[in-house]
Amino acid sequence: YPIEQLAVNCDFLETCYLLLNGELPNAQEKSEFDSLVMRHNMVHEQLHFFLRGFRRDAHPMAVLTGLVGALSAFYHDSTDVSNPHHRHVSAIRLIAKMPTLVAMAHKYTKGQPYMYPQNDLSYTGNFLRMMFATPCEDYKVNDVVERALDRILILHADHEQNASTSTVRLCGSSGTNPFAAIAAGVACLWGPSHGGANEAALNMLEHLQANGGVAKVGEFMEQVKDKNSSVRLMGFGHRVYKNYDPRAKLMQETTKEVLMALGLENDPLFKLAMELERIALEDQYFVDRKLYPNVDFYSGIVQRAIGIPTSLFTAIFALARTVGWIAQWNEMLSDPDYKIGRPRQLYVGSSRRDVPKMDAR
Ligand code: SDX
């Protein structure tokens, strides 16, 4: 299915169903799946004590890596990874609980009370409420924001053998607990070359905006092209995509929709990002190297407009990618011939030698 059609015609839970089952759900299947997921979104109360162990200014990805790993200490009833039913239960639990964990990490940072899930809301509407509501007043989900964030989750759901998915596969191939394997994926995604790029891209735009904005773009691009500088155009380039990432175009359109809906159409960062893209796509350095915007280039701007703090962007990416990780983990373990992973290496070190005594070294 073309991602452009999924992002427009489906919601995130339909995409989750597709990734887990290989087919899109019909109305009955969708209703049952949505209800199943929404009935597993609470986490064990004991997890509140895990959060208290973190400093309030801990990076949300440090917290999320810890919380997801900690889930492996709670669910002893479904950790036989050779049992398809156990794998299904773990998949549903992870998809259902990630929004709750991400929202808890956010509330903990802010010093606000956690908001419990509300099952009569949509998956994404419930996440927005857990993130931004307080016990002090009713919270109304903004339909445009809900739809935009749901689309962002779809765009991030799965993407072949990227670094974090390969991490989950390799980790899961030992037969370890599914929550431990997903925690490994969260840890890998955190890196600025991977899922951490959306946070890095927005920080880059804000730094540029604070230091001359569009007028200084030319100077910045010279730094990016200078091999001696460590400056990279975050949100550009890809390990495998050597053309325009279709997700980036959809992300740009979604960003425009949200900014218009929120009266932020003149957002200077969005204008700066589009100017950066225009210049990069015309610059021979980028043309020669087939560097295009990737999924992370615009996602920070729309998440910032929604009110999501920059440090939480990668946690949102992890929330979305959990279904891709767990679907691929399940695919691997469903193969009766699967074996523990063992990447090959070409040894190019010293040839065989004897250990010299200390005084001879
Ligand atoms: C994601 O794998 C996936 O599918 C990942 C992902 C997913 O959905 O899971 O799509 C999500 O991780 C997207 C990528 C997010 N990362 C960033 O936006 C960080 C910035 N990008 C770069 O760090 C880089 O592009 C990588 C890490 C993404 C890819 O690195 P590569 O494979 O080294 O890039 P390349 O081989 O295409 O580089 C070719 C040339 C090199 O220069 P030369 O040595 O040939 O002179 O382009 C240069 C690179 O130095 N280059 C960049 C650049 N990316 C590559 N120069 C400036 N800015 C950049 N962003």
User: What CA–CA distance (Å, rounded) separates 159 from 237?
Assistant: 15
In three-state secondary structure terms, 346 is: coil
Residue keyed to tokens 């979604």: 254
Hey, whose CA ends up nearest to atom 48 of ligand 1? 289
* Alpha carbon 49 to chain centroid, angstroms: 25
User: What CA–CA distance (Å, rounded) separates 157 from 155?
Assistant: 6
**CB of 231 closer than 8 Å to CB of 219:** no
> Residue 303: CB within 6 Å of ligand 1?
no
Contacts of 259 (CB under 8 A, 6+ apart): 265, 267, 270, 301, 302, 305
Contacts of 113 (CB under 8 A, 6+ apart): 107, 134, 135
**CB of 317 closer than 8 Å to CB of 98:** no
pTM greater than the 0.85 cutoff: yes
The closest alpha carbon to 312, from 40, 121, 125, 107, belongs to 107
> Residue 242: CB within 6 Å of ligand 1?
no
**What is the pLDDT, as a whole number, of residue 317?**
97
Alpha carbon of 301 to ligand 1 centroid (Å): 20
For residue 224, the ligand 1 atom closest to its alpha carbon is 57
**CB of 29 closer than 8 Å to CB of 17:** yes
Hey, whose CA ends up nearest to atom 25 of ligand 1? 237
* The residue count for the chain: 361
Hey, whose CA ends up nearest to atom 42 of ligand 1? 289
> Residue 313: CB within 6 Å of ligand 1?
no
Q: What pLDDT tens digit does each residue of the chain (361 aa) get?
A: 999 999 999 999 999 999 999 999 999 999 999 999 999 999 999 999 999 999 999 999 999 999 999 999 998 888 899 999 999 999 999 999 999 999 999 999 999 999 999 999 999 999 999 999 999 999 999 999 999 999 999 999 999 999 999 999 999 999 999 999 999 999 999 999 999 999 999 999 999 999 999 899 889 999 999 989 989 999 999 888 888 889 999 999 999 999 999 999 888 998 999 899 999 889 999 999 999 898 898 899 899 999 999 999 999 999 999 999 999 999 999 999 999 999 999 999 999 999 999 999 9
> Residue 289: CB within 6 Å of ligand 1?
yes
User: What CA–CA distance (Å, rounded) separates 250 from 265?
Assistant: 17
The closest alpha carbon to 7, from 257, 236, 199, belongs to 257
User: What CA–CA distance (Å, rounded) separates 136 from 78?
Assistant: 38
Which residues have a catalytic role annotated? 238, 296
**What is the pLDDT, as a whole number, of residue 77?**
86
User: What CA–CA distance (Å, rounded) separates 98 from 64?
Assistant: 9
Alpha carbon of 236 to ligand 1 centroid (Å): 6
Hey, whose CA ends up nearest to atom 2 of ligand 1? 162
| Best mutation site among 289, 296, 313 for ligand 1 pocket (most ligand atoms within 8 Å of CB) | 289
Alpha carbon of 348 to ligand 1 centroid (Å): 27
Hey, whose CA ends up nearest to atom 39 of ligand 1? 289
> Residue 194: CB within 6 Å of ligand 1?
yes
**What is the pLDDT, as a whole number, of residue 234?**
93
> Residue 237: CB within 6 Å of ligand 1?
yes
User: Which amino acid, residue 253?
Assistant: E
Report the interhelical angle of 84-110 vs 178-189 (nearest 10°). Answer: 50
> Residue 294: CB within 6 Å of ligand 1?
yes
In the chain, count of helices (H) and strands (E)? 17, 0
User: What CA–CA distance (Å, rounded) separates 361 from 354?
Assistant: 11
User: What CA–CA distance (Å, rounded) separates 40 from 73?
Assistant: 17
User: What CA–CA distance (Å, rounded) separates 228 from 45?
Assistant: 51
User: What CA–CA distance (Å, rounded) separates 12 from 2?
Assistant: 15
CA pseudo-torsion sign 170, 172, 178, 179: negative
**What is the pLDDT, as a whole number, of residue 3?**
94
**What is the pLDDT, as a whole number, of residue 175?**
96
**What is the pLDDT, as a whole number, of residue 265?**
87
| Best mutation site among 291, 292, 298, 316 for ligand 1 pocket (most ligand atoms within 8 Å of CB) | 291
User: What CA–CA distance (Å, rounded) separates 96 from 110?
Assistant: 23
Alpha carbon of 116 to ligand 1 centroid (Å): 39
User: Tokens in use for 177?
Assistant: 């607990």
Hey, whose CA ends up nearest to atom 26 of ligand 1? 238
User: Tokens in use for 49?
Assistant: 């004590």
**Greatest distance between any 2 Cα atoms in the chain:** 77
Alpha carbon of 170 to ligand 1 centroid (Å): 23
In three-state secondary structure terms, 5 is: helix
Alpha carbon of 294 to ligand 1 centroid (Å): 9
Alpha carbon of 88 to ligand 1 centroid (Å): 34
User: What CA–CA distance (Å, rounded) separates 81 from 329?
Assistant: 10
